[in-house]
Each structure stands twice: as C-alpha cells, then as structure tokens.
Amino acid sequence: MPLLPGAEPFRHDGGEVGVLVCHGFTGSPQSVRPWADYLAERGLTVSLPLLPGHGTRWQDMAVTGWQDWYAEVDRELWTLRERCSRVFVCGLSMGGALSLRLAARHGDAVSGAVLVNPANKVHGLAARALPVVRHLVRTTKGIASDIAKPGMEETGYDRVPLHAAHSFRRFLRMLDSELPQVTQPLLLMHSPHDHVVPPADSARILARVSSRDVTERLLDRSYHVATLDHDAPTVFEETYAFIGRLSAGTGEESAGAPRTASRG
C-alpha cells in the first residue's frame, strides 16, 4: 500500500547523542518531521519511525494494536542505543505515551523524555462503550489537523478505526499504572486549547511520574499538533536545550535533590 505524502520514516546519523521521535495516533511522521529535522540539523542522531498501520489507510490500522506500535519504538530505541552514548525519547500525543512507557520500562537506557500534549486517557462517554461498539461500528470521525496556524495540515486518517481505539484505551490504562516507574528528567509541553487531548492528561502524568527533574511549558498559541503550529519553534528550541543540558552533564540531579517544576 503506498504511503501518504510525508509519511515516510526518517533516520539521520549524527553524533553520540540519539533521539527517538514518535508520532501520534492515526497520524504519521509528517506531524513531527520538522521536530526531527531541527534536531538532526544540530548534529544529533535521530530516528523517526512510521508506526504499524499508520501512514497508508485506516483499514491497515484497524488490524493493528498497541503491542505493534510499542514494539516498533522499542526496536528503534535499542537500535539507537547500539551506536549512541545517550538516547532521549520525544513524542506527540500517543507518541508521548509510547515515550513514557519506554522510560518506565528501560530505566537508564533512556536519558530523558520530551512530551508534547501527551495522551493519558481516551475521553468521552463513548470510550467506555468501545469494547462493544467496535464490533458494531468500524470507525468514527478523525482527529487529525487540530492546528491553530492557518494553512497547516496534518497527514493523518480522516477516520479512527474503533478496534485500534479500543487497543489504545487499553494501553493508556496500563501505562497509567506504570507512570510511577518513570524517573528520568522530563520536559512536558502542552496546549491549554488542545481539542484532542485535554490539559488534564498532562496534569495526571505530572502527578504520577517519579521524575525529580521536571519542566513544564505551556504552548498558549497552539492546538493539539503543536509541532506544526505557532509554538513549533518553542518546542524545537526547548527540546534541544533540554537535551543539551543533560548531555553535557550539567544539571544532572543527585538522587537526593528536590523535585522542581517550572512553567512558562
């Protein structure tokens, strides 16, 4: 099946610091490609995989589930670890959730995580009905292109396959129980005017993780796909500064240092 424009995976061989960038549910690498390009242009080794079932047609996604999506980013993490001294994970929406699980499960193999509008829950009254409804209705309306900036569009599906949505819901419920295992430095950026993932998800994540080096940034001018929106430069610059601080060995917190948070 041909890929949608911009849905191609991306890899760049750079220096000793690696970055895994993860796209979101029903989206594609196109939504986070400028983020990956920015980091690659500054000499980092970058991997941006295409998640199984994404980037083609929604029917392909309907036969995949969270185990497939997570296995893909898990493989990419270990590929980066083979050639890089440090690896950071970055993700938008579901990509942020996948990044959190990598951090929870792999400890020191992940040096830090950068999350943009990360998902923690499938919302709405229909979410509870997914176990039954998915057998009766194949899809619902899509969630792509929640972007404030005029003229910008996200390459993603115009329909959400409900079998995949049910699997995603199960994944998020499991991940929520694993969040206390996340101890790495964390940069979380979220949009107050997100129409896909509410700010409550970011608040829940920040309350549940055990990370002590925590930075929170508000993306006031953007909607959900902030990596293609007005605040994209802020996302890119903050990510690079976060990685640079930790890679240089400055700012690494001792085990007994207090947890801090900053907002901007």
Binding positions for substrate are 25, 94
**Contact status, residue 52 vs residue 72, Cβ threshold 8 Å:** yes
Which residue in 33, 94, 98, 7 sits closest to 235, CA to CA? 33
Separation CA 76–CA 229 (nearest Å) = 27
Tell me the H-state helices in 87-231: 94-106, 130-133, 162-178, 199-208
The type of residue at 132 is V
224 noted as active-site residue: yes
Separation CA 138–CA 229 (nearest Å) = 31
- Kindly state the tokens that stand for 130: 């997914």
222 noted as active-site residue: no
Residue among 23, 163, 224, 230 flagged as catalytic: 224
Residue among 28, 47, 93, 211 flagged as catalytic: 93
**Contact status, residue 85 vs residue 16, Cβ threshold 8 Å:** yes
Residue among 194, 213, 229, 231 flagged as catalytic: 194
| Pairing mode of beta strands 112-116, 186-190 | parallel
Cα dist from 52 to 69, 81, 82, 150, whole Å: 6, 22, 23, 30
What 3-state DSSP class applies to 24? coil
194 noted as active-site residue: yes
Separation CA 35–CA 57 (nearest Å) = 24
- Kindly state the tokens that stand for 99: 């990044």
**Where is the binding site, in residues?**
25, 94
**Contact status, residue 157 vs residue 58, Cβ threshold 8 Å:** yes
Separation CA 56–CA 30 (nearest Å) = 12
What residues are labeled active site?
Answer: 93, 194, 224
